[in-house]
Structure 1
Amino acid sequence: MVYSPLQAAAKYFQFYIHAANSKGHGTHSPFVFEFITKVMNDFTKYEDYERVEVIRTRMLADNTELLIQDLGAGSAITSSNRRSVASIAKTTVKPRKFGQLLYRMVKYYQPRTILELGTSLGITTSYLALANPQAKVITIEGASTIAAKARENFAALGLTNVESIIGNFDDILESVLMQNPGIDFVFLDGNHRQEPTERYFRQLLPHVHNDTLLIFDDIHWSKEMDNAWANIVQHEAVTCDIDLFYIGIISFRKEFKEKQRFAIRF
């Protein structure tokens, strides 16, 4: 079950009082200090931000109803299989703060092969693709009607480096990974349940390398996601994790001789 607003607020309060600030003071890990100072605290107003946010504004005003087959944990807002584009944009698309953080991560680390599980309306995908036009961005969406709307948005932005795939992650992830064996950057924002989230993580492991970054969305969205995140960060292949409460970042860098864990306010 998804946490209630009261439960979510209580969890965030506990996180906030124990998490480090976003200045980087006292952070002994060069990788994490660099992430905080060069990525999190990059306050440049990139022109791409406005380009993507124009699309978001358009989606928030679009009352077109879509028939949706939800293959994940569903929406915390509605159980209906008919939803307006505006409702999807309001409740399931990542807020600009996090879309722009992912943009800065891609811009700074320059991954060449990016995988996204859960395209939604393509807002976050667009941030990823614009941050490194030389990168190949593969994005998978289970709902064909939503994927079609995302493709319209990619066309409106003139994106040519996005490969949009429609299908159930369970059915097609393995074949996508076999065709793209070296994955540099992954954003998992699709199936918010414990077993599938952990399974996708295990499927990704043979395809990661020293510099690969995995970003998990909504890691404290529910008890299941709490459990999935706790199990993933304990895996022997994970050398560093950064908990930003709403998203979690995983690194496999071998220069970490001991497992390093960070919770940072953002």
Structure 2
Amino acid sequence: MMRYKNVLSKAAINMFYNIIPYIKFLFKSTNQHGVHSPFVFQLITSCFYDKTPYPAYEAIVRYRHTLLQDGTQIKVVDLGAGSQVMTAGNRRVSTIAKHAGTPLKRAKLLYRLNHYLKCDTILELGTSLGIASHALHLGNPKAHITTLEGCPNTAAYAKQAFEAQGITRITSIVGPFEDTIHQLTAPTYDLVFFDGHHQKAATLHYFELLIDRAHNDSVFIFDDIHWSKGMTEAWETIKRHPRASVTLDTFFWGVVFFRKEQAKEHFTIRV
């Protein structure tokens, strides 16, 4: 009972913490009409706010629905910040998908981003059940995606799901990020999605390990930048990095571009 109360207290603290940043976000944020950068304006209007009913959305919905209906139990090994809701080692796939999987709105946005940017080499930190990997693949089926996952059982589940759909261009590497990042062979990545260790020190550490693999047109996406005080601090540090030229805060994501031809500028965008 005491452990249950502690979990609730941690979740309540984080929920309360999120309220104030979100209120500040609403006051600061804008849409495309407050953006004067042609590059960012085009990104927002043609990608973020794109209302096209892409057929691929049906596949994204089907995949998530399949997970939400799956009662299979998986023994989960948490190497990151863990979950505010799930504490048991054995978890149902449906529970993981509901509480830890990429939400449908964000999965669709990941699809649109890769459909718009046409990234060929993608790195994902945190496979989980593969919702984000699946959406990124659909955005550009020719892309090669490398996804890192600390838990061997969720990684195996996602890999099996990819194979069942005939997806062959997603490579899964299992183990702690500290180890698996050093196994990467690609010199650069067009897109890196950080979604596996939502703590300040870890986020900044992996950012520093991977920034040398960014080229001028790369994009780094950080999930849950306002999940905790530490994550917000990490995001503020990343924004100040001398190689980060254009950054966007969508509240749930922090997006970083490294375009040398653009003056350093930060945008707070409602999506």
What TM-score comes out, normalization by structure 1 length?
Answer: 0.95
Residue 253 in structure 1 maps to residue 263 in structure 2? no
What is the DSSP-based 3-state SS (H/G/I as helix, E as strand, rest coil) of the residue aligned with 1:59?
helix
Q: Secondary structure at the match of 1:209?
A: strand
CA deviation vs aligned residue, 1:15-59 (integer Å, no higher than 9, x gap) = 1121113xx113111111011101011111111111121111111
Cα distance in structure 2, aligned partners of 1:61 and 1:133: 26
Find the counterpart in structure 2 of residue 222 from structure 1: 228
CA RMSD of aligned residues (A): 1.2
Corresponding residue for 2:7?
none
Mapping of residues 22-171 of structure 1, within 5 Å: 24-171=32-179
Task: Report SS of the residue matched to 2:26.
Answer: helix
- Number of residue pairs the alignment of both structures matches: 261
User: 1:158 and 1:99 mapped to 2: Cα distance?
Assistant: 20
Q: Map 1:185-264; keep pairs closer than 5 Å.
A: 185-257=191-263, 259-264=264-269
Query: What letter corresponds to residue 6 of structure 1 in structure 2?
Result: F
Judge conservation of contact 2:122–2:146 (CA < 8 Å) in 1.
yes
Residue number in structure 1 paired with 2:5:
none
Consecutive unaligned residues in structure 2, runs of 5 or more: 1-9
Uncovered stretches (5+) of structure 1, i.e. residues with no partner? none
Following TM superposition, the consecutive aligned residue runs of length 4 or more in structure 1 with deviations greater than 4 angstroms are none
State whether residues 55 and 153 of structure 1, in contact with CA within 8 Å, keep that contact through their aligned partners in structure 2. no
How many angstroms apart in 1 are the aligned matches of 2:50 and 2:165? Answer: 24
**Displacement, 1:196?**
1.0
Work out whether residues 248 and 267 of structure 2, in 8 Å CA contact, stay in contact via their aligned partners in 1.
Answer: yes
Q: Deviations over 1:205-229 (max 9, x none)?
A: 1111110000000000011101111
- Contact 1:59–1:85 (CA under 8 A) maintained in structure 2: yes
Paired AA for residue 267 in structure 2 = F
Q: Secondary structure at the match of 2:215?
A: coil
Query: Are the aligned partners of 2:145 and 2:170 in contact in 1 as well (CA < 8 Å)?
Result: yes
